[in-house]
């Protein structure tokens, strides 16, 4: 029986709900196989666990996807829109370099102008960082109802002839409402652990288009890599092997760190929700962390890797399945581009 007390480093706060939104267009394995004959549909499914992924339409931005997810969430209950007092928008494909996309989202959602709003530029670790920020805002009394929206359109960075990343990534968004706990509920967020390793910056990168390497004719020139993938410096590049090596090296340690910081053990968790990179990495982590399959929920087959939305997409499914009831305790672990990682405990 789990102790009912709050964990050290936790904040009384509750995840009220999660809503998700995926763009309409579906990119199937069959379509990829038609373009890359050496990469048959069954092999893609077997190796990555992904059958299809969603692709945002031309002119449909991450903000558009995030807006849809947020509307779905806020429309669930009377008064939710008015209650939001802080908005965090996590994306790596903002509408503009400036202004802040979260400000635009505040306006589109019809939130009050007293609302705080900011963007965070993170990928696979973004949701957990967002939760940590939300819980800190709540702990300090700076906010009571934080709307955390994660949304990305990596497809817009990906070269159509780069089968490595085209196979793995999908577009999507999620909106999560985090509310300050009142005295009565036992729900809590935290503790959190964080990690950053900028020496791995080039492992997952869109190299050109920022100020370090402005876009130019040279950066638009396509090159073929040693595996036959074609991309230019304005496209997304992923060193899959480097990311795998990083994951194997760091994530088991982060898991252990979080157990130690929270004073819990593996058996204290109903679920461990990892960033849903792909089946392969999750199989490896399941083995390394010693987790039973039924305690490590997955979702990637129909959506691929939706970057900062992978964890809330799993949470939405758990909510819908009635799995996240009072007393449920889960761990969330996001890791990837940056290199960046974060882990946290969620007590429902």
76 sits near another protein (criterion: CB under 8 A): no
**How far apart are alpha carbons 88 and 95 in whole angstroms?**
15
240 sits near another protein (criterion: CB under 8 A): yes
Question: Residue 79 corresponds to which tokens in the numbers above?
Answer: 């008064």
Question: Residue 347 corresponds to which tokens in the numbers above?
Answer: 């007590």
Least distance in angstroms from the C-beta of 162 to another protein:
11
47 sits near another protein (criterion: CB under 8 A): yes
Least distance in angstroms from the C-beta of 243 to another protein:
8
Which residues in the 276-305 window bind another protein by CB under 8 A?
280, 284, 287-288
**Displacement of CA 209 from its chain's centroid (Å):** 23
Helix (H, G, I), strand (E, B) or coil at 121: coil
Question: Residue 19 corresponds to which tokens in the numbers above?
Answer: 């809503």
Which residues in the 210-239 window bind another protein by CB under 8 A?
226-227, 229, 239
Nearest of 184, 189, 175 to residue 139 by alpha carbon:
189
Tell me whether residue 217 or residue 241 sits nearer to another protein (CB atom).
Answer: 241
Tell me whether residue 164 or residue 347 sits nearer to another protein (CB atom).
Answer: 164
Tell me whether residue 83 or residue 284 sits nearer to another protein (CB atom).
Answer: 284
199 sits near another protein (criterion: CB under 8 A): no
Least distance in angstroms from the C-beta of 345 to another protein:
26
Least distance in angstroms from the C-beta of 248 to another protein:
5
Q: Looking at the annotation, which residues are catalytic?
A: 124, 275, 305
**Displacement of CA 48 from its chain's centroid (Å):** 18
Helix (H, G, I), strand (E, B) or coil at 80: helix
Nearest of 177, 129, 125, 110 to residue 149 by alpha carbon:
177
Provide the sign of the torsion angle of the four alpha carbons 44, 46, 51, 53, taken in this order: negative
Q: How many residues bind another protein (CB under 8 A)?
A: 17
- Cβ-in-10-Å burial (0-12, 13-18, 19+) of 326 comes to exposed
202 sits near another protein (criterion: CB under 8 A): no
Pick from 34, 57, 201, 245 the residue near another protein by CB under 8 A.
245
36 sits near another protein (criterion: CB under 8 A): no
Tell me whether residue 229 or residue 308 sits nearer to another protein (CB atom).
Answer: 229
Least distance in angstroms from the C-beta of 124 to another protein:
16
Tell me whether residue 2 or residue 288 sits nearer to another protein (CB atom).
Answer: 288
For residue 288, give Cα distances in angstroms to 239, 270, 285: 22, 18, 5
40 sits near another protein (criterion: CB under 8 A): no
Tell me whether residue 239 or residue 268 sits nearer to another protein (CB atom).
Answer: 239
| Beta-carbon count within 10 A of 304 CB | 30
249 sits near another protein (criterion: CB under 8 A): yes
List of E strands, 181-292: 188-196, 204-206, 223-224, 230-231, 236-238, 271-274
242 sits near another protein (criterion: CB under 8 A): yes
Nearest of 267, 271, 67 to residue 175 by alpha carbon:
67
Beta bridge pairs of residue 196: 340
248 sits near another protein (criterion: CB under 8 A): yes
Contact characters 133-172, another protein, x per CB under 8 A? -------------------------------x--------
Nearest of 263, 260, 190 to residue 3 by alpha carbon:
263
339 in the Ramachandran plot: left (φ > 0), alpha (ψ -120 to 50) or beta?
A: beta
Least distance in angstroms from the C-beta of 227 to another protein:
5
Stretch that binds another protein, among 60-68, 242-250, 253-261, 297-305 (CB under 8 A): 242-250
Query: What residue ranges bind another protein (CB under 8 A)?
Result: 47, 164, 226-227, 229, 239-242, 244-245, 248-249, 280, 284, 287-288
């Amino acid at each position: 029986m789990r102790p009912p007390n709050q964990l050290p480093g936790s904040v009384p706060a509750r995840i009220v709900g999660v809503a998700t939104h995926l763009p309409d267009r579906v990119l199937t394995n069959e379509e990829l196989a038609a373009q890359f004959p050496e990469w048959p549909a069954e092999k893609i499914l077997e190796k990555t666990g992904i059958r299809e992924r969603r692709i945002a339409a031309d002119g449909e931005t991450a903000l558009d996807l995030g807006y849809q997810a947020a509307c779905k969430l806020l429309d669930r209950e009377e008064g939710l829109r008015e209650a939001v007092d802080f908005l965090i928008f996590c994306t790596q494909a903002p509408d503009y370099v400036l202004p802040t996309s979260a400000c635009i989202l505040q306006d589109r959602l019809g939130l009050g102008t007293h609302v705080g709003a900011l963007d965070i530029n993170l990928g696979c670790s973004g949701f957990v960082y967002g939760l940590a920020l939300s819980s800190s805002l709540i702990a300090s009394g700076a906010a009571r109802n934080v709307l955390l929206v994660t949304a990305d359109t990596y497809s817009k960075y990906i070269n159509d002839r780069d089968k490595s990343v085209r196979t793995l990534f999908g577009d999507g968004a999620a909106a999560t409402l985090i509310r300050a706990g009142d005295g009565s509920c036992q729900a809590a967020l935290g503790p959190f652990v964080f990690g950053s390793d900028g020496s791995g910056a080039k492992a997952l990168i869109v190299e050109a288009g920022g100020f370090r390497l402005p876009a130019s004719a040279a950066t638009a020139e396509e090159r073929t890599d040693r595996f036959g993938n074609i991309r230019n410096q304005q496209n997304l590049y992923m060193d899959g092997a480097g990311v795998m090596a990083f994951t194997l090296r760091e994530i088991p340690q982060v898991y252990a760190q979080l157990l130690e910081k929270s004073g819990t053990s593996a058996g204290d968790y109903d679920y461990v929700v990892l960033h849903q990179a792909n089946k392969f990495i999750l199989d490896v982590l399941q083995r390394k962390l010693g987790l039973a399959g039924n305690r490590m929920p997955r979702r990637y087959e129909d959506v691929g890797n939706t970057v900062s939305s992978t964890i809330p997409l799993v949470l939405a499914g758990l909510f819908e399945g009635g799995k996240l009831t009072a007393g449920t305790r889960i761990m969330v672990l996001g890791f990837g581009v940056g290199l960046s990682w974060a882990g946290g405990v969620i007590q429902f």
